[in-house]
Every structure is written in structure tokens, then in C-alpha cells.
Amino acid sequence: MRPEWPRRRTPTSPVWMKDRHVIALAASCPPPQASPARTDRTVQIRRAGRWNNGDQMTGCYLTSLPFEFMRAVADFDPEWSGSYFVPRATVRPPVVLLVQVWPQLDKWKEAHSSPLSDFGVEQNMAAGAFLELMEWLREVLLQDAVFLQESYPDHPLFQDPVFSCPEFAAHSTAIQKAMPVVAEKLRTVLTQQVAAEQLAERRHANLLTVARDLCAKLEEFAQTTCTVTFSPGRGTAAQQTEVMSARQGRRRAAGDAITSAMGPPSAARPQNDLEKQREEHVQVDKEKALDEASDMVTGRSQPPSFRLPRSIGSVQDLMHLWRQGWGDMPSVDSLERDWGTRWRLSEEKTYFSTRKIIVNEVRRRAQLDGLAEGVVARQMDEEWGFSSLDKLFKAIRRSRRSEPVTRALAAT
């Protein structure tokens, strides 16, 4: 039998659902003042404001809105779809109970979804979405009613026969049984997290203890005492040299830690050329002793030798080598600071100079633009398309050669 409802009408649909162009215009907002940079965040902001790449409004329906943006506006985490888990949603109400809530809903949905039906219902996208929403809401209503009825037993809604039938009682029992199971699972996860956190704290404390013991042993090993005897000319003087700390790893700090009890053999000031020459020899021997004592403290008798790795093919990796090191090789900045040019191999001179020019160019641009060196290195990689560093070096050298000509033309 054909259901008795007016033909060519959708009485359950509100008025605002009849014209989807009206709802599209009502959902629009003013154009955002976004940066012209082509980034994903900027694109999402423009799409959220219903504006395309120009100043023309998007002429499509609500499907043009970005999905991640809509979830973020609704206070959902876009990266984790299960962040709002409701335990009672795991128990679905039986069909015999669902059909008692809005009994005509299934008939209307069937009439709307069937294009060849004789019901005479006009198909409408908004009306179909509304019917799907009502179907989902009656399931949520039956799930939440189990707990709401306990808090508000006298509410008029719960006086309906649906909430007093045997099917609802069985559904309520199933939900109440599912809640402790989920709670116990969450409690187990929480216990595991607490145990892992306590284990991490214990390991951290053990590492701190080991580090303190290691520092104490280094202090013991660093307490070195040596005796240096100088014999300039006729005089003989003994000097007691004592280095008390190895934390002062620099040569200057080691020199400060050396105390000398040596003085000129005769008067405080030289009286003739012989005495002056003798004091010069004493000063040379003293500086040599300072260098040897410093090398003894810092453990630096011979400079290390490193070869720049050939696997570096981008400006970002080159800056990482220069500032932080690469593999077993320390940073180039630290080697230059501690050893000067002595750590470089003779056959590495050309290769080192080409890479040094690229590093200097990165730091020059960073200083001019007020940006970090890592940002400038990434920009140069994007600008040159990750080409070889040799091509980049040649381009920098050509630009530097053309700068004086440009300045001269500008001056004239």
C-alpha cells in the first residue's frame, strides 16, 4: 500500500534545506588576509573562506571545504581520528528497538533513495543528508538514554513506552556490561604507561650516577704534576709545574694553571747584553714548557687528520658538517678553532676551499636577511634544485666576479 503523504513535497525537510545555493552563501565568510605564499596552511585557509586562488568565490557546495579544517573547528584532532572514543558506542541497539524511534524514518528514507519509486518524493541532497542524520541520532539517543534515564528518571522523554519495553532493558544491560570491560582495558593501558615512565626515571637516575662517577675519575686522572728544569747558559733553575684540572681543555687555561717559581739568576733587571740574551732563552724555554704541559693536559700532541666526506650533496648537509660534524668527524668549525689549518690534508686544499666558499655564502646571506643559517641553506637547496655543490660553487664565484662591475656601473 502506498503511504499516505502529500505528493511532490518533503514535509520533514526544513525550509532552509530547499535551496542549496542559499546555504552555500550563508556559510561563506569574508576572504582571509592570508600570505601569498603557496603553503598547505594558506590553501586550507582560503578554502575554508570559500575563496579560490584569485578573488573569485568558489561556486561549489560544502564539499569544497577542507576535511582537516572542519575537524579542527569541531575540536577534533585531525591527525588522530579515534581521539574522541565513546565506550558505549561499541554496543549497537537492536533493530527492533531502533524502528520504535521515529517509525516513519525508514519509509521516508526508502522513498527518497529510490529514484523509480511511485511515492512522488523529490530527490534532494540536503534532505537525504538530513534523513541520514536522523538515522544516526536515534542510535545515539538509545545509547545515551541508558545513563540519562538514571540521572533524570522523571523526565517526560523517558515516559515513552520505548524506554520501558523489554528490548530496551536488554540493551541497557548490554551497555552496562560493556562499560567495565572498556574501563578495565583503559586502566591496564594506564598502568603500563605508569610503569614505563617509572622505568625511564630509574634509567635516567642511573645515567646521572654513572656520569658523576666518570667526572670524578676524570678529575683524578687529570691531577698531573711534572717538574721542568731550565739551564740557560751558566744558571740553573728548577721550576715546579702542576696542572690541577682537565676541564680547562684549552692551551690558555693550561698556561694559567702553571705556576712558576723561577726568577733571573742575578738582578731583577738585565744589566748587560749577556743577561738580556739569557732571559730571552729562559722565556723561550718557558713558552715551550707551557706548550708541552698544555698538550699533556688536553691530550693533543699531534693534530688529527680528516678528509671531507664526498657523500654530502646538499647545502643543508654541508652546513651540518660545518657546525655539528658528520659521522665520526667532528665539526669543521671546532677543528678550525682548535687546530687552525694543521688538521687539513694537503690534497684536500682545493676541495676544502670550494666548500668553504659555499658556507661563507650561506652565512653572508643569513646575516643580510636576518635568518637562521639552516633556513638559508634550505632556500639555496630549493633554489638550485639540489644540484651538485660544484655547480653551486661556480655560480657563486661568477656572481662574486660580476659584483665589482655592477658596483662600478652603479657609481657612474
**271 and 325: one domain?**
no
Q: Is residue 331 part of a domain?
A: yes
Q: Which residue's entry shows cell 681543555?
A: 249
Any domain includes 339: yes
Chain mean pLDDT for the chain? 71
Q: Is the pLDDT of residue 291 over 70?
A: no
Classified as helix, coil or strand, 225 is strand
Please indicate, yes or no, whether residues 158 and 36 belong to a single structural domain of this protein: yes
Out of 2-11, 359-368, 400-409, pick the least confident.
2-11
Residue 199 in any domain: the answer is no
Q: Do residues 136 and 55 both lie within one domain?
A: yes
Please give the C-alpha separations between residue 295 and each of 85, 288, 290, 306, 316, in angstroms, as whole numbers.
64, 11, 9, 20, 35
Pick from 44-53, 188-197, 287-296 the range whose average pLDDT is largest: 188-197
The domain boundary residue, chosen from 231, 265, 298: 298
247 in the same domain as 153: no
Domain-embedded: residue 193: no
Proportion of the chain above pLDDT 90, given as a percent:
2
Q: Kindly state the percentage of the chain with pLDDT values over 70.
A: 53
**Average pLDDT for 238-251:** 44
Beta bridge partners of 329: 326
Q: What is the pLDDT of residue 110?
A: 82
Higher pLDDT, 9 or 180: 180
142 in Cβ contact with 158 (< 8 Å): no
Q: Which of 237, 254, 363 minimizes the C-alpha distance to 298?
A: 254
The 10 Å Cβ neighbour count of residue 127 is 20
Q: Is 378 exposed, middle or buried (0-12, 13-18, 19+ CB in 10 A)?
A: middle
Residues 36 and 116 in one domain: yes
Give the position of cell 721542568. 228
Cell (9 digits) for 90: 561499541
Q: Which of 31-40, 103-112, 190-199, 215-224 has the lowest mean pLDDT?
A: 31-40
Helix extents (H) in 251-314:
251-257, 273-298
As a whole number of angstroms, the distance between CA 352 and CA 373 comes to: 19
User: What's the pLDDT band for 360 if we cut at 50, 70, 90?
Assistant: very high
Task: Provide Rg for the chain, Cα atoms.
Answer: 41
Terminal alpha carbon distance of the chain: 98
pLDDT in tens, 137-174: 998 899 888 888 888 989 998 889 889 899 999 988 88
Per-residue pLDDT band for 348 (boundaries 50, 70, 90) equals confident
The count of domains in the chain is 3
Q: Give the max Cα distance, the chain.
A: 135
Which residue type occupies 33?
Answer: Q
Does residue 373 contact residue 363 with C-beta atoms inside 8 Å?
yes
User: Looking at the structure, do residues 130 and 67 belong to the same domain, yes or no?
Assistant: yes
Which has the closest alpha carbon to 333: 322, 342, 344? 322
Model confidence at 234, pLDDT cuts 50, 70, 90, reads: very low
Computed from CA positions of residues 246, 248, 250, 252, in that sequence, does the dihedral angle turn out positive or negative? Answer: negative
Q: Band of the pLDDT at 399, cuts 50, 70, 90?
A: confident
Alpha carbon 38 to its chain's center = 21
pTM of the model: 0.30
Determine the length of the chain.
Answer: 412
Q: Are residues 156 and 25 in the same domain?
A: yes
Spatial CA neighbour of 387 closest among 320, 319, 317, 313: 313
pLDDT for 206 beyond 60: yes
> Which of 61 and 391 is assigned the larger pLDDT?
391
Are 357 and 293 contained in the same domain? Answer: no
* pLDDT, tens digit (0-9, with 9 covering 90-100), for 62-120: 456 666 666 666 666 656 555 556 666 778 888 888 888 888 888 888 887 776 666 66
Number of neighbours of residue 57 by Cβ within 10 angstroms: 13
3-state secondary structure of 227: strand
Residues 325 and 259 in one domain: no
Tell me: do 135 and 69 sit in the same domain.
Answer: yes
Both 284 and 323 in one domain: the answer is no
Q: Is residue 211 part of a domain?
A: no
pLDDT at 261 over 60: no
The set of cell numbers assigned to 316 is 643543508
pLDDT at 397: 86
CB of 50 closer than 8 Å to CB of 29 = yes
pLDDT class for 385, splitting at 50, 70, 90?
confident
Is the pLDDT confidence value at 18 over 80?
Answer: no
pLDDT in tens, 363-383: 999 988 888 888 888 888 888
Which structural domain range is residue 241 located in?
223-298
| Residue 380 resides in a domain | yes
The one-character DSSP state at 51 is: B
Type of residue found at 236:
T
Inside any domain, residue 280:
yes
Q: Is the pLDDT assigned to residue 1 strictly greater than 50? A: no
Higher pLDDT, 316 or 277: 316
Whole-angstrom distance, CA of residue 223 vs CA of residue 392: 50
Q: Which of 273, 298, 323 is the last residue of a domain?
A: 298
| 89 and 228 in a common domain | no
- 180 lies in some domain: no
Mean pLDDT of the region 279-306: 62
